[in-house]
A and B are shown apart, each in its own frame.
Chain A
């Protein structure tokens, strides 16, 4: 079996682009101590809105902006009920997952399976001429480049800026942050809405670039849950989360490429693999805590703890 490595890397970069965006957005949200569980529905609704807006205005850029706006609005509802009113974030996120999914199918049914605009590949001048690397990294659509840029940007924001420090402090200990003059509720709302906009962009990436078009099913169903799992798999560290996202892209492609090569492995294994892997990782991390030895130390080096106040509503007394 002959696999062109350059084509494989390029395919992984495209397949993983929306997953990277969504997982990074959720990482920012969870770092601030908020769980936005609505990802799966948000991605679908944003994908629908982006496609319809791009179709009606003939402008993919407006479509992508509308997608990001949709993600931000859904996240704002999560923030209003889960942060402002202090209701269970899991509950509101879960309800919105299904509301958004059905809303997307209902509102989008008129634009199902129609030919629409999409982001064309935009080779970077000079860089795309590079042998091997050019085809793999610099001949994609603008949303895929955006997913590349988002990685260092996100890591920088989180660990090298004052804003990142504020976000993390609110996720670890909102009471202490309040004592230092930071309003945890405002920061959490901002982080949720900002992260939601990135999730919305992930939806736009699907309907305008990776799997262009709209339909029932669109093809991005289930990705939101994967992104949520990846945040845990990457132990809330943007760089590790992204590594997980690319591994998932590789796994997805393996399911397609190797289906004929390994007929003994049912293709369903590749589709459900990320979740058992995540559970397995969490269990290993759990058992390495408090243990001595090289292996346990090694595991601890590559794992992190969840934000201490994650999911816990902050109340001012």
Chain B
């Protein structure tokens, strides 16, 4: 086990894993590009300039990083409890809806900053409820959290479309481009020359630190871990797996809901159908690549965000489809599963 090995050895093992994964994934992608007659060096330089070529471009990376990191925090809870919370995409959407609901109630007469704060809380609650619903379906309804969550994603997608085309439609015309923009004072403060609200970065970092603290330093975190590691043994320590799992789902859904809320208040300033931008699904890939550990998550999020932001440049400079970033991300995760699996099977055989 890990405790019998010393730290340098562990770090060396991890470094070897990272090297192996990136070699496998990038090697495969490079082979593919060379076969198509595209120079990988061109791609790399385009992606790099697209991600960090200017302050504005780096801002764009951060706007992806914030919701991605928040979704990952939510997933760390549910994965630790042994649950596959694929419904995170729906939880992001519901969080965005909850936040919008409160921001539209401008007749409350509250100061804008307080209203934004309350709206984000509403996002937390609505995302948490959606996650809790999937958890209840699993505990009480016998619906596996993967398929229940997936189903609720589709329901959430239908719900947001209905809201945008129905009750919350624009003055006069219903349009897929979203609801009306909020009043200026309800936008989260973004300094001139910035694209990302500094407060949202602070929220994401805080959420990550809190997640790390709860999972590794509190009794609740230990309980979640016990349920995830061995749900059959947990009751021996009077831990109820169903309740602990439900709590993890609610908490995870809530944090994902904040991601949705920030998309509404900081990025789009309105509700629109693709509000979740697939960040929930991308976060699942990030956490899988991190081998379900908290430590590497912020860095992987940053790399994935840089890929996503940098790939916008691909069609402009190289006339290539921007989905290449997804290919690289997916290849990394499949390579990681291969390497971790290989490592596990060797350990089991020895």
Give the shortest distance, in Å, between A236 (CB) and chain B (any CB).
13
In the complex, the answer to whether B320 meets A109 with C-beta atoms within 8 Å is yes
- Is there a chain A Cβ closer than 8 Å to B248's Cβ? no
**What sequence of 0s and 1s flags, for each residue 157-199 of chain B, a beta carbon within 8 Å of any chain A beta carbon?**
1100110011000000000000000000000000000000000
Specify the chain B residue showing the minimal Cβ separation from A101: B326
A95 to B327, alpha carbons, bound, how many Å?
A: 10
- Is there a chain B Cβ closer than 8 Å to A77's Cβ? yes
**CB under 8 Å from chain B, chain A span 259-317:** 266, 268-269, 271-272, 275-276, 278-279, 282-283, 285-287, 289, 315
A134 to B150, alpha carbons, bound, how many Å?
A: 39
Specify the chain B residue showing the minimal Cβ separation from A91: B288
B5-13, B111-119, B141-149, B239-247 - interface stretch: B141-149
- Is there a chain A Cβ closer than 8 Å to B40's Cβ? no
Measured between beta carbons, the chain B residues less than 8 angstroms from A285 are: 142
A6 to B272, alpha carbons, bound, how many Å?
A: 40
A105 to B330, alpha carbons, bound, how many Å?
A: 13
A82-90, A113-121, A137-145 - interface stretch: A82-90
Measured between beta carbons, the chain A residues less than 8 angstroms from B320 are: 106, 109
Give the shortest distance, in Å, between B132 (CB) and chain A (any CB).
15
A95 to B338, alpha carbons, bound, how many Å?
A: 12
Give the shortest distance, in Å, between A18 (CB) and chain B (any CB).
19
In the complex, the answer to whether B327 meets A275 with C-beta atoms within 8 Å is no
Interface SS of chain B: helix
In the complex, the answer to whether A276 meets B155 with C-beta atoms within 8 Å is yes
Specify the chain A residue showing the minimal Cβ separation from B142: A286
**What sequence of 0s and 1s flags, for each residue 319-336 of chain B, a beta carbon within 8 Å of any chain A beta carbon?**
011011111011101100
Specify the chain A residue showing the minimal Cβ separation from B314: A106
In the complex, the answer to whether A278 meets B151 with C-beta atoms within 8 Å is yes
- Is there a chain B Cβ closer than 8 Å to A103's Cβ? yes
Q: Select one of B150, B165, B330 contacting A99, CB under 8 A.
A: B330
Q: Select one of B155, B323, B330, B345 contacting A95, CB under 8 A.
A: B330
- Is there a chain B Cβ closer than 8 Å to A151's Cβ? no
A111 to B41, alpha carbons, bound, how many Å?
A: 25
Given contacts A266-B165, A282-B142, A286-B142, A96 and B330 within 8 Å (CB-CB): yes
Q: Select one of B151, B158, B321 contacting A269, CB under 8 A.
A: B158
In the complex, the answer to whether B151 meets A98 with C-beta atoms within 8 Å is no
- Is there a chain A Cβ closer than 8 Å to B154's Cβ? yes
In the complex, the answer to whether A109 meets B321 with C-beta atoms within 8 Å is yes
- Is there a chain B Cβ closer than 8 Å to A148's Cβ? no
A99 to B331, alpha carbons, bound, how many Å?
A: 7
A305 to B72, alpha carbons, bound, how many Å?
A: 33
- Is there a chain A Cβ closer than 8 Å to B348's Cβ? yes
Measured between beta carbons, the chain A residues less than 8 angstroms from B344 are: 85-87
Measured between beta carbons, the chain B residues less than 8 angstroms from A232 are: 147
Give the shortest distance, in Å, between B283 (CB) and chain A (any CB).
12
In the complex, the answer to whether B147 meets A278 with C-beta atoms within 8 Å is yes
- Is there a chain A Cβ closer than 8 Å to B340's Cβ? yes
In the complex, the answer to whether A106 meets B321 with C-beta atoms within 8 Å is yes
In the complex, the answer to whether A77 meets B341 with C-beta atoms within 8 Å is no
**What sequence of 0s and 1s flags, for each residue 284-304 of chain B, a beta carbon within 8 Å of any chain A beta carbon?**
110010000000000000000
- Is there a chain B Cβ closer than 8 Å to A20's Cβ? no
Give the shortest distance, in Å, between B326 (CB) and chain A (any CB).
3
- Is there a chain A Cβ closer than 8 Å to B212's Cβ? no
Q: Select one of B150, B158, B162, B337 contacting A229, CB under 8 A.
A: B150
In the complex, the answer to whether A87 meets B337 with C-beta atoms within 8 Å is yes
Specify the chain B residue showing the minimal Cβ separation from A99: B330
- Is there a chain A Cβ closer than 8 Å to B64's Cβ? no
Measured between beta carbons, the chain B residues less than 8 angstroms from A221 are: none
- Is there a chain B Cβ closer than 8 Å to A102's Cβ? yes
The number of residues on chain A lying at the interface, defined by a beta carbon within 8 Å of a beta carbon of chain B, is: 44
A85 to B339, alpha carbons, bound, how many Å?
A: 10
- Is there a chain B Cβ closer than 8 Å to A225's Cβ? yes
In the complex, the answer to whether B166 meets A95 with C-beta atoms within 8 Å is no
Q: Select one of B323, B329, B348 contacting A105, CB under 8 A.
A: B323
Given contacts A77-B334, A91-B288, A276 and B151 within 8 Å (CB-CB): yes
Q: Select one of A81, A85, A275, A315 contacting B151, CB under 8 A.
A: A275
Given contacts A275-B155, A276-B151, A279-B143, A106 and B341 within 8 Å (CB-CB): no
A285 to B320, alpha carbons, bound, how many Å?
A: 49
Specify the chain B residue showing the minimal Cβ separation from A269: B158
In the complex, the answer to whether B146 meets A85 with C-beta atoms within 8 Å is no
Specify the chain A residue showing the minimal Cβ separation from B326: A102
Specify the chain B residue showing the minimal Cβ separation from A98: B330
**CB under 8 Å from chain A, chain B span 102-132:** none
Measured between beta carbons, the chain B residues less than 8 angstroms from A289 are: 142
Measured between beta carbons, the chain A residues less than 8 angstroms from B146 are: 37, 90
- Is there a chain B Cβ closer than 8 Å to A228's Cβ? yes
- Is there a chain B Cβ closer than 8 Å to A64's Cβ? no
- Is there a chain B Cβ closer than 8 Å to A94's Cβ? yes
In the complex, the answer to whether A85 meets B321 with C-beta atoms within 8 Å is no
In the complex, the answer to whether B337 meets A91 with C-beta atoms within 8 Å is yes
- Is there a chain A Cβ closer than 8 Å to B207's Cβ? no
Given contacts A85-B342, A272-B154, A283 and B327 within 8 Å (CB-CB): no
In the complex, the answer to whether B338 meets A85 with C-beta atoms within 8 Å is yes
Measured between beta carbons, the chain A residues less than 8 angstroms from B30 are: none
In the complex, the answer to whether A95 meets B147 with C-beta atoms within 8 Å is no
Specify the chain A residue showing the minimal Cβ separation from B287: A91
In the complex, the answer to whether A268 meets B161 with C-beta atoms within 8 Å is yes
- Is there a chain B Cβ closer than 8 Å to A15's Cβ? no
A272 to B281, alpha carbons, bound, how many Å?
A: 19
In the complex, the answer to whether A94 meets B284 with C-beta atoms within 8 Å is yes
Measured between beta carbons, the chain B residues less than 8 angstroms from A269 are: 158
In the complex, the answer to whether B150 meets A275 with C-beta atoms within 8 Å is yes
16 contacts between A and B (CB under 8 A): A94-B86, A94-B284, A95-B285, A98-B326, A98-B329, A99-B327, A106-B321, A106-B326, A106-B327, A107-B36, A225-B150, A229-B147, A266-B161, A266-B166, A272-B157, A282-B148
Query: 7 tightest A-B contacts by CB?
Result: A99-B330, A102-B326, A286-B142, A85-B341, A275-B151, A272-B158, A87-B341
